[in-house]
């Protein structure tokens, strides 16, 4: 198990399998609001993967107004991630949507998740205490 410290952005707790996207993400336009599936060419091999109940890692968010609408729609359709880790910095629209929809967010973990977390690993995000625990898939 790996334990990282991270900055709490939106309080809460979430656990689930990791989806690790080593790039920026525009939630509006790159996540299907009805199904929670990643879409578009820019998401590479993760295209079609569903974020529902997962711990979603990405560098930072892109785009603006639409992001808040998209996060709120995704949450109300029951396909929201269990928590979000914004690795490089938190962006305002993503955080605004997560506050409104109660999705925990942490940012800037003290270890680089792209070196330590793989898609499919089990992750627990205790945002309130600023802790991210990773249980690699093979050891589970």
Partner 1 sequence: MKLTREEQEMLEGKKGPAVQKAMEMLVEYGEGFNAECMVDVNYVHADGGQVVFHKTVDHIEEYHSRGALARVPASTEVTAMDMSQWKEMGIPEDYAQRQKDVDKKLKEMNFACTYTCTPYLAGYIPPKGSHIASVESSNQTFMNSVLGVRSNRDGGQFTSLSAFTGKYPKFGYHLDENRKGTHLINVRAELKDSTDYGALGLHIGRYVVGSGVPVLKGIKNPTFEDLKALSALMAQGAVALYHIPGVTAEAQTLEEAFHGQIPKDEIVVTQKDIEAVYERLKTAKDPRVNIVDLGCPHYTLEEIRKVASLVRGRKKHTDVIFNVWTVRTVKILADSMGYTGAIEDFGGRIFTDSCITSCQWSPTSRPCSNITVPKRPNFGTFVTDSVKHGWGGPLQLECEGVVLKLEDCIKAAITGRWC
Binding residues for partner 1, per CB under 8 A? 8-11, 29, 32-34, 60, 62-69, 71-74, 76-77, 90-93, 95-97, 99-100, 105
Cα–chain center distance at 99: 14
Measured from the CB atom, the residue of 27 and 121 that comes closer to partner 1 is 27
Cβ 95 to partner 1, closest distance in Å? Answer: 6
Cβ 81 to partner 1, closest distance in Å? Answer: 15
Q: In what side-by-side order are the strands of the sheet with 7-10?
A: 2-5, 131-135, 122-126, 13-20, 55-58, 83-86, 105-107, 7-10
Measured from the CB atom, the residue of 4 and 72 that comes closer to partner 1 is 72
Measured from the CB atom, the residue of 44 and 102 that comes closer to partner 1 is 102
CB-based contacts of 30, cutoff 8 Å, min separation 6: 38, 39, 40, 42, 43
């Amino acid at each position: 198990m790996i334990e990282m410290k991270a900055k709490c952005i939106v309080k809460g707790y979430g656990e689930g399998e990791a989806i690790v996207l080593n790039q920026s993400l525009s939630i509006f336009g790159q996540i299907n609001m009805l199904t929670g599936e990643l879409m578009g060419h820019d998401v590479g091999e993760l295209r079609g993967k569903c974020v529902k109940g997962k711990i979603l890692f990405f560098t930072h968010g892109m785009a603006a107004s639409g992001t808040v609408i998209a996060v709120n729609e995704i949450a109300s359709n029951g396909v929201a991630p269990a928590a979000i880790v914004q690795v490089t910095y938190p962006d305002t629209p993503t955080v605004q949507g997560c506050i409104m929809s109660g999705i925990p967010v942490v940012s800037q973990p003290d270890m680089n998740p792209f070196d330590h977390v793989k898609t499919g690993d089990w992750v627990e995000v205790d945002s309130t205490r600023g802790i991210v625990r990773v249980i690699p898939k093979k050891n589970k």
